[in-house]
Structure 1
């Protein structure tokens, strides 16, 4: 009976191990440089399509271009930098996926090992990102975001309140990448702000040096 019991336990452990291995290899290979795919996705909605709260409308109405951090050569971060018209290099590692943007040389680390943001983690432009795979889709949740940001350059505001967060879904199919972002900011938006876009794998692509000159912005 003892040997049978241990044999059963061993079989269960083996099955679990195989299941975990199958899940681990389910993630597609996404290493490489991905360039914007023109015409893919919905892009950003117009201001008329967005349902703002009274506080959000007031923030939108008071917007001026000098409030755009990128015109001051400040990294766009999240959510502003999600929709990026420049090449993106993705490096897939065992416990994280790294996004290396040409734009402002922004670096994002998306932890895929099950960790959560440490207690008392301070808000930053890039926030704290964790992710997991759902078949061929990388799902990313980003929290701890700085209020010194925008949702979009048109003046779509971002409150950066403690309950703000973003959910991104990156779906990889062969040499195509489609992504959708939902921005949850109940202080400024009556419903999630949603946009989508796409990228194409560029085998010969390169990440070039990016330079920013704030004196050219006029502010």
Structure 2
């Protein structure tokens, strides 16, 4: 599927606007009366409560939460074994070649890379300093059925009071570290809590310049992948605001990792 076809798939999944924008005040008022006001219960008091730059600070020693390896299904074990047979058990991690981590790793990394959240009228954008980018559509659209899988998948969100519930599907299969099948689904619950004693703290970002005493962003993550795991996997990430931190450029390319894997396969006679 080329880029234009993918764009059309996203557009087709978006709901049609109930009212057209008009250029005169009288027509705008008429449309407002015709369409009615949105339900207040579906929108938090602050429509952009998560906007800004954040640093994850819990998890300990700068590592992401441990990924359980004792819950693999037979299908997962077979797929992982085939990957290791072709490339070897010590094949380099994709991240060593700057390949984007994708979901859910981009939300559970405590290595000190900030993430910026920007909310627009129809979507929320999340950008990490490592080059990961995801869009969470907030306009009620469904997941497209003909969109190619990607490392970050396709995300839609809805508000439950002041909690944003995000569902992500369309994920590419991953067979090396934090493995996922193409049928995986990820559900997140994002909300704010008060920064106070008792909140877990650790990782590289714990010693970096973050805002204390304000709000903490909590991301509760559930990975639902019955093809690869015998039960859902659950993780929690905590973030503090980093208002004086800028997102820097992180310029890398996937082709270097592809070349490294192809070289390993040739050396093992697995072309």
Structure 1: distance between partners of 2:152 and 2:41: 32
Alignment of 1:1-219 (within 5 A): 17=37, 20-21=39-40, 23-26=42-45, 27=47, 29-39=49-59, 44-45=65-66, 47=68, 50-60=70-80, 63=84, 64-66=89-91, 68-85=93-110, 86-103=113-130, 105-148=131-174, 155-160=177-182, 163-173=183-193, 174-212=214-252
SS in 2 for 1:156: coil
Q: Over aligned residue pairs, what C-alpha RMSD do you find?
A: 3.0
Q: What is the TM-score when the length of structure 1 is the normalising length?
A: 0.75
More strand by proportion, 1 or 2? 1
- Offset of 1:54 from its aligned partner? 1.8
CA spacing shift, 1:22–1:67, aligned 2, 3 Å = same
Q: Which runs of 5+ in 1 are unaligned?
A: 1-12
Partner SS, residue 75 of structure 2: helix
On the 8 A contact 1:89/1:99 being kept in 2, the answer is yes
Structure-2 separation of matches of 1:200 and 1:149: 32
State the shift of 1:60 in Å.
Answer: 5.0
Q: Does structure 2 retain, via aligned residues, the 8 Å contact 1:60–1:156?
A: no
Deviation of the 1:59 alpha carbon: 4.3
Q: Deviations 1:142-189 (Å, cap 9, x if unpaired)?
A: 111111465xxxx332122xx321111111235211111111111110
Scaled by the length of structure 2, the TM-score of the pair is 0.62
Shift of 1:56: 2.2
Cα-to-partner distance string for 1:6-60 (whole Å, 9 max, x where unaligned)? xxxxxxx89x73x6245334345221100112348xx624546x42212223445
Q: Mean Cα displacement is larger for which, 106-115 or 132-141?
A: 132-141
The offset of 1:81, in angstroms, is 2.2
Structure 2 gap segments, 5+ residues each: 1-32, 194-213, 262-271
Distance in 2 (alpha carbons) for counterparts of 1:51 and 1:132 = 30
Assess if the C-alpha contact under 8 Å between 2:223 and 2:232 holds in 1: yes
1:172-209, Cα deviation, whole Å (9 max, x unpaired): 23521111111111111000111111100112121122
Q: Does the 8 A contact of 2:168 with 2:187 survive in 1?
A: yes
Is the 2:43–2:161 Cα contact (8 Å) retained in structure 1?
no
